[in-house]
């Protein structure tokens, strides 16, 4: 998975080789590698099953910035989100790509955010 500044590769079966200009990493089953400050960091992925949820229209996040999550919602639902001063908040949870309002509820309600959908635009702000 690669989205702008986030990069992760996971191995479910077999072997996977991941290379960048400075390093080469071999992954075995249940291992992942992420890019952090241009360095590949390999680790045993205890939640690897959640990594493939995207194949089934589900998206799992753990301590992920709203900026990244909102970018994914824009891609999945073909909408444009407008927000300010909340993008660095962290979210942990799962939502599916089957219903925009449900996905927004799952993300926004626990974060104490309101949203309004107008055509293909979503306006998000803090609850009063």
Do 31 and 87 lie in a common domain? no
Do 85 and 110 lie in a common domain? yes
Range of the domain at 78: 57-126
Confidence at residue 78, expressed as pLDDT on a 0 to 100 scale = 96
Confidence at residue 1, expressed as pLDDT on a 0 to 100 scale = 46
Do 76 and 39 lie in a common domain? no
Number of domains in the chain: 2
Indicate yes or no: pTM above 0.75.
Answer: no
Residue 52 domain-assigned? Answer: no
Do 42 and 72 lie in a common domain? no
Do 24 and 62 lie in a common domain? no
pLDDT average, residue stretch 50-73: 88
Q: How confident is the model at residue 113 (pLDDT cuts 50, 70, 90)?
A: very high
Do 42 and 63 lie in a common domain? no
The tens digit of pLDDT for each residue in 92-102 reads 999 999 999 99
Do 63 and 39 lie in a common domain? no
Do 69 and 113 lie in a common domain? yes
Q: Which of 2-16, 22-36, 50-64 has maximum average pLDDT? A: 22-36
CATH code of the domain in which 79 resides: 3.55.50.30
Residue 51 domain-assigned? Answer: no
Do 61 and 122 lie in a common domain? yes
pLDDT average, residue stretch 22-26: 92
CA atoms of 2 and 125, how far apart (whole Å): 28
Q: How confident is the model at residue 56 (pLDDT cuts 50, 70, 90)?
A: confident
pLDDT average, residue stretch 26-39: 88
Do 70 and 100 lie in a common domain? yes
Do 21 and 68 lie in a common domain? no
Q: How confident is the model at residue 6 (pLDDT cuts 50, 70, 90)?
A: low
């Amino acid at each position: 998975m690669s989205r702008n500044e986030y990069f992760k590769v996971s191995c479910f079966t077999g072997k996977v080789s991941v290379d960048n200009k400075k390093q080469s990493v071999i992954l075995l089953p249940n291992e992942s590698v992420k890019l952090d400050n241009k360095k590949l960091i390999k680790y045993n992925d205890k939640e690897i099953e959640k990594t493939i949820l995207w194949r089934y229209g589900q998206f799992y996040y753990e301590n992920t910035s709203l900026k990244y999550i909102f970018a994914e919602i824009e891609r999945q639902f073909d909408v444009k989100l407008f927000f300010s001063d909340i993008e660095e908040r962290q979210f942990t949870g799962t939502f599916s790509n089957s219903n925009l309002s449900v996905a927004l509820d799952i993300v926004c309600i626990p974060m104490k955010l309101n949203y309004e959908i107008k055509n293909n635009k979503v306006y998000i702000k803090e609850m009063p």
